[in-house]
């Protein structure tokens, strides 16, 4: 097995702690901020693996957009002061445990059966943004377009929902 | 050679350090100048700004400390260092403490990918422009942290305004940069500057001198003004409505850190504007290429800063709805047209055709969009119901 580098260890530990904090902290806004740290940690992990575009896109989208979105939602709905929430929810969290175990098992199976773990050669040189773009626009152009269409539909849907509410109040 | 004096200096210093710690020394020698030069530039800019605003508003600026008030920043720094650091009792202490630190750390990072001169870049990333915007995204979160943790209605309102404004104006900012990325065919800042080297006649090959580049540059600078919360887009700190926005509850040196972070953000985004549109460290005229490259970068930076100060002194603050309407109904469609126009420029043969097509596309779009914006806010004589 390849030696883990110090940078990887530090980043992994920070990400794990942030993810645990996002689950266990009491203030909702604190959870959201911890989640942002976890997102940033994952982004820097990608960077340390040489996936520059992926890592930076992760930072841009998750920390810049999704974390801000979560924070906004918390502020607009609850005021971010619901400290009375119990730390561990009452009742058996069976659904959560089942889902978590299933996903873990699936991921572990995928990782241990992937071809990358068995190839002992030197790691492939990281893909540049240009290669990534060429592959996206040549080989995977249909999925890309479908995704774009879906996002546009979601965007229009959001606008329509917002508009309808406005007409009702008038 | 004077052009490479700092690069040679670094190599000369590296030669004296033992081989074992050479990578660390190299990193240190790359980072330290950035950490020194830009705060000094910040100090100079505050004097320049206060003097300039004073001139615009028909008064003397600071003129007590030192020769013509040039030492005013020292006095300001001493003042903010000796002031009491007040944290509100109900504030969230950890987040309140972390917010200015994160803002400052994030404000320094973008300089890593800005080519300050020939061979003078801290980290030549393959996706440099993307790095710049990814780091910029984190500063939104730190602004929110500052506003939320203060437990103050005004600071929360300021933070919400700031974040909403930054997200809205990031879209045209990114789109106008995409036009340049398309034209240069690279996300690397060094590559983009290299693509703009060379001259036709006396004109440099800067992207600002193409029709789409000019419009893109104007859009970029407007979005940059909004992104750095500067007047006329300084609603997040509107003194008349919400006192000072997200940093009301910060005093002493933490306030100074916010101030520093804001100005560093302005320098960084101006630096990116220079890199993308104004040819980076390239000389503007062919017979001026003997001037060292880093002098050109800082000259252009100073020019843009003076532009920012001028705009601040002359334009009134926008209203929130005007701000949002302008971003989504004018800037965004215009930026999309710039992208299309840049694409046409890229694929049409060189000559008059592509100038015509590119210009026409932008002119028609501008006319239609401006008419659309104008038609919504009709200016008419105000009618009073009870006063007349």
For residues A159 and A17, the model is more confident at A17
pLDDT for position A170:
46
> Of the candidates B92, B137, B185, which has its C-beta nearest A60's C-beta?
B137
pLDDT for position B379:
63
- In a domain, residue B120? The reply is yes
Residue B308 C-alpha from the chain's centroid: 9
Percent of chain A predicted with pLDDT > 90 = 15
Most A CBs within 10 A among B144, B192, B336, hence the mutation to make, goes to B144
- In a domain, residue B26? The reply is no
- In a domain, residue B330? The reply is yes
Q: Is the pLDDT of residue A4 over 70?
A: no
Residue A56 tokens read as 């930076």
Interhelix angle B72-82/B22-56, nearest 10 degrees: 110
pLDDT for position A92:
64
pLDDT for position B148:
85
- In a domain, residue B72? The reply is no
- In a domain, residue B98? The reply is yes
Contacts of B133 in chain A (CB under 8 A): 60, 64
Q: How many domains does chain B have?
A: 1
> How close A115 gets to chain B, by Cα (Å)?
28
- In a domain, residue B126? The reply is yes
Secondary structure class of A88 (helix, strand, coil) = coil
Residue B86 tokens read as 């007040």
What tens digit of pLDDT does each residue of B177-216 get? 999 988 888 888 888 888 888 788 788 888 888 888 899 9
What is the distance between the alpha carbons of residues B326 and B335, in angstroms, rounded to a whole number?
Answer: 12
pLDDT for position A1:
41
Task: Chunk chain B into consecutive blocks of 10 residues (it has 388) and report each block's average pLDDT, rounded to whole numbers.
Answer: 77 79 81 87 88 87 80 85 84 86 89 85 84 87 86 84 86 90 86 84 83 90 88 75 77 85 90 88 81 86 91 84 83 90 84 83 84 69 66
> Of the candidates A33, A53, A65, which has its C-beta nearest B130's C-beta?
A53
Query: Is A40's Cβ below 8 Å from some Cβ in B?
Result: yes
* The listed CATH number (3.40.640.10, 1.20.120.1200, 3.50.50.60, 1.10.10.60) that belongs to domain A1-85: 1.20.120.1200
The whole-number average pLDDT for the span A112-137 is 71
What is the distance between the alpha carbons of residues A15 and A21, in angstroms, rounded to a whole number?
Answer: 10
pLDDT for position B303:
92
Q: Is the pLDDT of residue A105 over 90?
A: yes
> How close A108 gets to chain B, by Cα (Å)?
30
Q: Is the pLDDT of residue A102 over 90?
A: yes
pLDDT for position A84:
55
- In a domain, residue B161? The reply is yes
Strands B203-204 and B199-200: antiparallel
Can you tell me which residue has the tokens 């979160």?
A: B141
ipTM of the complex: 0.78
Contacts of A27 in chain B (CB under 8 A): 92
What tens digit of pLDDT does each residue of A26-49 get? 778 888 889 999 999 999 888 888
- In a domain, residue B218? The reply is yes
Q: Would the pTM count as exceeding 0.95? A: no
Residue B117 belongs to domain spanning: 89-374
How many CB pairs (< 8 A) connect A and B? 67
Contact B215, B338 (CB under 8 A): yes
């Amino acid at each position: 097995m390849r030696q883990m580098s110090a940078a990887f260890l530090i980043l992994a530990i920070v990400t794990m702690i942030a993810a645990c904090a996002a689950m266990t902290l009491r203030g909702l806004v604190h959870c959201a901020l911890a989640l942002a740290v976890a997102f940033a940690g994952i982004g820097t992990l990608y960077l340390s693996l040489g996936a520059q575009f992926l890592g930076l896109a992760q930072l841009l989208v998750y920390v810049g957009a999704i974390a801000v979105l979560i924070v906004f939602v918390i502020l607009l709905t609850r005021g971010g002061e619901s400290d009375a929430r119990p730390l561990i929810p009452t009742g058996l969290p069976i659904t959560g445990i089942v889902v978590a175990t299933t996903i873990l098992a699936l991921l572990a199976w995928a990782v241990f059966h992937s071809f990358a773990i068995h190839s002992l050669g030197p790691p492939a040189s990281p893909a540049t943004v240009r290669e990534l773009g060429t592959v996206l626009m040549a080989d995977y152009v249909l999925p890309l377009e479908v995704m774009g269409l879906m996002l546009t539909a979601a965007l229009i849907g959001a606008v329509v929902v917002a508009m309808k509410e406005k007409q009702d109040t008038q | 050679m004077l052009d490479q004096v700092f690069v040679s200096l670094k190599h000369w210093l590296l030669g004296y350090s033992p081989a074992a710690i050479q990578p660390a020394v190299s990193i240190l020698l790359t980072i330290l100048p950035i950490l020194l030069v830009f705060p000094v530039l910040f100090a100079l800019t505050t004097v320049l700004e206060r003097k300039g605003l004073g001139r615009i508003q028909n008064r003397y600026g600071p003129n007590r400390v030192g020769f013509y008030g040039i030492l005013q920043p020292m006095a300001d720094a001493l003042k903010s260092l000796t002031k009491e650091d007040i944290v509100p009792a109900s504030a969230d202490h950890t987040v309140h403490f972390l917010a200015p630190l994160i803002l400052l750390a994030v404000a320094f990072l973008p300089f890593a990918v800005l080519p300050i001169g020939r061979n003078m870049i801290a980290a030549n990333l393959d996706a440099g422009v993307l790095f710049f915007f990814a780091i910029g995204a984190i500063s939104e979160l730190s602004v929110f942290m500052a506003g939320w943790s203060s437990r103050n209605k005004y600071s929360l309102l300021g933070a919400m305004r700031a974040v909403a404004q930054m997200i809205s104006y990031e879209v045209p900012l990114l789109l106008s940069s995409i036009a340049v990325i398309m034209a240069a065919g690279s996300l690397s800042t060094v590559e983009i500057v290299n693509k703009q080297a060379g001259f036709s006649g006396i004109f440099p090959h800067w992207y600002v001198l193409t029709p789409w580049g000019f419009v893109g540059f104007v859009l970029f600078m407007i979005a940059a003004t909004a992104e750095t919360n500067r007047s006329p887009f300084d609603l997040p700190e509107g003194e008349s409505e919400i006192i000072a926005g997200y940093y009301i509850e910060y005093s002493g040196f933490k306030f100074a850190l916010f101030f520093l972070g804001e100005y560093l953000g302005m320098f960084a985004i101006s630096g990116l504007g220079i890199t993308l549109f104004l040819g980076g460290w390239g000389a503007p005229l062919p017979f001026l290429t003997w001037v060292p490259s880093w002098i050109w970068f800082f000259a252009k930076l100073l020019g843009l800063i003076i532009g920012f100060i001028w705009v601040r002194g002359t334009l009134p603050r926008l209203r929130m709805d005007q701000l949002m309407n302008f971003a989504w109904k004018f800037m965004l469609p215009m930026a999309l047209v710039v992208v299309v126009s840049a694409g046409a420029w890229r694929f049409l043969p060189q000559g008059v055709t592509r100038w015509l097509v590119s210009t026409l596309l932008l002119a028609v779009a501008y006319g239609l969009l401006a008419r659309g914006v104008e038609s919504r806010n009709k200016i008419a004589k105000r009618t009073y119901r009870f006063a007349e």
